[in-house]
């Protein structure tokens, strides 16, 4: 019995010791892990510090002269001054197959999920509108409403394509406050008034970089990257943000300091940028793989760097260096892969189809987003058609349109939507409205007073794909753009064949024309096909 009791006591003592030993081991392992992390961070900090020193030395070397390449002209599409109206008195021609030319793939726009709205036949759900109350909507005129900001106004929408940079979860709770497209922002003020250039010679730029790199700059970089993440800013949005931050840190009149400060912030954020002497001042150039029109550029080692400053230049000769900061690996991606979350007033407008009075919407657009788009340089057409539509437009435009086409045949629903796009918007060419070619992001159609054929084609494509779940292609002619839809129903009309499938012509600028009717002047013209 005594042996039994001793054995039991031994087991109890052993069981009590095991957890202690286990916890002790865990505590030891955690300490070793923390020490490892600290060591890794120290090694990384030492590496960055060394890279900053090396880059400062490099900037002191004599810069070389380069020829500034002339801007690539904006694509010109000589559109008709007035839209063509369908003449119902004429005998309808026999439907025919329209020839096609080159077929180009377009990016599929990103649409964030939501439980508040789901298209009847669509393949992709649509996100909810940010919180806030609307004012009374004007009749066909814009009226502004200040949005209510709350936690629901900015759902976490992440892009599938993110630059390879650190994006911390927290940022400074106090520091330098400023407005960025009506958005209240706060960043660390650690570099405020830290940069003063005696000149813009190599030695001055090197000294400026060294001053900044010896400062406590990391909190500022963390804050900027956090703002980028919280607002789903794309790369060009981040360029605009850092320009604003640099101006606040240096003072708006110190353009040379602003250019170097912005270059420093972007370089430490992982972007390939450089400054150059041009017209006796510093200007920023950023690397991008996208085509950017109406912007001068230089090409170094096969990489294209576009000028960020849009002011006129007096000379085509610049001086700069043929090397990027060692930690800067990312080019600026002009594509927009997630809704850009800006603050601003809501601009509302009533839009109604003439042939279908029940097809009526009260659209709402964020003025902050429109201001951002206004500052966006002109890129390839794919950037515009691939951009997601804002939550405001999705939630104010899609539900009423979905309601009126619910239960209708595809042909009837498509006709209702095309008459809406044809007649609810006033027509004017980009040249007449802006003085230059300007492709619209979808949101801009609901803001500006006029739109042209390419804008309407993109909108109709978006509505059919989102509300009806049907495949749509864009048809690009020398001076016009239309759409064609692949219906599940057997529908007669002019058509194109793409990938072995029949697509019925639907022209959003052929005013009053039903689906299946192509403009007579384009029936014998091979259209370039843009497909998703």
Q: Which domain holds residue 193?
A: 64-72+162-320
Average confidence (pLDDT) over 201-215:
97
Residues 141 and 185 occupy one common structural domain: no
At residue 219, does pLDDT exceed 90? Answer: yes
Residues 251 and 134 occupy one common structural domain: no
Distance CA 188, CA 215 (A): 12
Predicted confidence at residue 33, as pLDDT, reads: 62
At residue 367, does pLDDT exceed 70? Answer: yes
- Which range has the worst mean pLDDT, 237-251, 306-320, 391-405? 306-320
Residues 454 and 527 occupy one common structural domain: yes
Residues 111 and 168 occupy one common structural domain: no
pLDDT in tens, 463-503: 999 999 999 999 999 889 999 999 999 999 999 999 999 99
Of 290, 304, 291, 513, the closest CA to residue 419 belongs to 513
Predicted confidence at residue 159, as pLDDT, reads: 32
**Domain contains 376:** yes
Token digits for 176?
């330098």
Token digits for 135?
């004012």
At residue 154, does pLDDT exceed 60? Answer: no
The neighbouring-strand residues paired with 97 are 495
For residues 331, 110, 372, 147, the Cα torsion angle rounded to the nearest 10 degrees is -140
**Domain contains 307:** yes
Predicted confidence at residue 466, as pLDDT, reads: 96
Residues 221 and 250 occupy one common structural domain: yes
Residues 38 and 126 occupy one common structural domain: no
Predicted confidence at residue 174, as pLDDT, reads: 65
More confident residue, 430 or 93: 430
**Domain contains 83:** no
At residue 36, does pLDDT exceed 50? Answer: yes
Residues 456 and 502 occupy one common structural domain: yes
Long-range pairs of 440-444 with CB within 8 A, sequence gap ≥ 24: 440/384, 441/373, 441/384, 441/387, 442/387, 442/389, 442/393, 443/365, 443/366, 443/369, 443/370, 443/373, 443/389, 443/390, 443/392, 443/393, 444/365, 444/370, 444/373
Average confidence (pLDDT) over 418-438:
94
Average confidence (pLDDT) over 435-445:
94
Residues 199 and 238 occupy one common structural domain: yes
Token digits for 437?
């070619």
Predicted confidence at residue 143, as pLDDT, reads: 43
Q: How far is CA 274 from CA 56, 286, 325, 331, 428, in A?
A: 13, 7, 9, 12, 40
**Domain contains 178:** yes
Q: Are 377 and 332 in contact (CB under 8 A)?
A: no
Those residues whose C-beta lies under 8 Å from the C-beta of residue 496, and which sit 6 or more positions away, are 97, 98, 99, 100, 473, 475, 484, 502, 503, 505, 527, 529
Residues 383 and 477 occupy one common structural domain: yes
**Domain contains 263:** yes
pLDDT in tens, 41-70: 554 455 578 999 999 999 999 999 999 999
Distance CA 264, CA 274 (A): 9
Residues 368 and 301 occupy one common structural domain: no
Could you tell me how far CA 113 lies from the centroid of its own chain?
18
Q: For 288, left (φ over 0), alpha (ψ -120 to 50), or beta?
A: beta
**Domain contains 86:** no
Q: Regarding beta strands 450-451 and 527-531, do their DSSP bridges make them parallel or antiparallel, or are they unpaired?
A: unpaired
- Which range has the worst mean pLDDT, 117-126, 150-159, 162-171, 518-527? 150-159
Average confidence (pLDDT) over 176-183:
93
Domains of the chain: total: 3
The secondary structure element, H or E, covering residue 102 is strand 100-105
Q: Report the predicted TM-score, pTM, of the whole model to 2 decimal places.
A: 0.81
pLDDT in tens, 7-30: 666 666 556 655 556 656 666 666
pLDDT in tens, 248-292: 999 878 899 999 999 999 999 999 999 999 999 999 999 999 999
Average confidence (pLDDT) over 410-426:
98
Residues 425 and 474 occupy one common structural domain: yes
């Amino acid at each position: 019995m005594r042996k039994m009791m001793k054995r039991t006591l031994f087991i109890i003592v052993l069981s009590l010791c095991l957890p202690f030993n286990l916890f002790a081991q865990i505590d030891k392992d955690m300490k070793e892990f923390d020490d490892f992390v600290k060591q890794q961070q120290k090694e990384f900090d030492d590496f960055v510090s060394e890279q900053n020193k090396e880059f400062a030395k490099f900037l002191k070397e004599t810069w070389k002269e380069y020829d500034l390449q002339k801007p690539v002209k904006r694509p010109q599409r000589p559109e008709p001054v007035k839209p063509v109206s369908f003449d119902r008195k004429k005998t309808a021609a026999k439907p025919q197959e329209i020839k096609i030319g080159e077929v180009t793939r377009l990016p599929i726009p990103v649409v964030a999920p939501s439980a508040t709205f789901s298209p009847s036949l669509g393949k992709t759900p649509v996100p909810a509108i940010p919180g806030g109350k609307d004012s009374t909507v004007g009749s066909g005129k814009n009226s502004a409403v200040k949005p209510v900001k709350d936690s629901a106004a900015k759902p976490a929408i992440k892009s599938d394509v993110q630059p390879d940079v650190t994006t911390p979860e927290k940022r400074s709770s106090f520091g330098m406050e400023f407005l960025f497209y009506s958005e209240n922002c706060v960043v660390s003020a650690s570099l405020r008034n830290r940069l003063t250039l005696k000149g813009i010679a190599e030695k001055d730029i090197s000294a400026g970089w060294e001053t900044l790199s010896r400062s406590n700059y990391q909190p500022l970089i963390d804050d900027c990257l956090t703002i980028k993440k919280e607002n789903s800013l794309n790369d060009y949005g981040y360029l605009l943000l850092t320009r604003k931050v640099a101006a606040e840190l240096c003072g708006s009149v110190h353009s040379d300091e602003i250019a170097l400060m912005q270059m420093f912030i972007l370089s430490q954020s992982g972007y390939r940028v450089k400054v150059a002497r041009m017209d006796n001042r510093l200007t920023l150039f950023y690397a991008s793989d996208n085509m950017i029109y109406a912007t001068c550029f230089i090409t170094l080692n096969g990489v294209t760097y576009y000028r960020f400053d849009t002011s006129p230049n007096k000379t085509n000769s610049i001086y700069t260096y043929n090397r990027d900061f060692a930690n800067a690996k990312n080019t600026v991606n002009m594509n927009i892969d997630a809704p850009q979350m800006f603050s601003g007033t809501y601009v509302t407008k009533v839009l109604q189809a003439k042939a279908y009075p029940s097809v009526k919407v009260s659209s709402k657009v964020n003025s902050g987003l429109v201001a951002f788009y206004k500052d966006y340089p002109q890129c390839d057409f794919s950037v515009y058609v691939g951009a997601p539509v804002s939550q405001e437009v999705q939630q104010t435009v899609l539900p009423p349109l979905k309601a009126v086409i619910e239960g209708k045949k595809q042909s009837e629903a498509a006709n209702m939507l095309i008459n809406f796009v044809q007649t609810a918007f006033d027509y004017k060419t980009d040249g007449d409205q802006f003085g230059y070619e300007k492709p619209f992001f979808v949101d801009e159609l609901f803001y500006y007073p006029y739109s042209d054929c390419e804008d309407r084609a993109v909108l109709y494509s978006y509505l059919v794909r989102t509300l009806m779940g049907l495949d749509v292609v864009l048809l690009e002619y020398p001076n016009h753009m239309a759409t064609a839809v692949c219906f599940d129903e057997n529908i007669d009309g002019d058509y194109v064949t793409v990938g072995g499938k029949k697509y019925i012509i639907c022209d959003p600028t052929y005013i009053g024309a039903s689906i299946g009717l192509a403009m007579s002047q384009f029936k014998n013209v091979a259209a370039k096909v843009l497909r998703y």
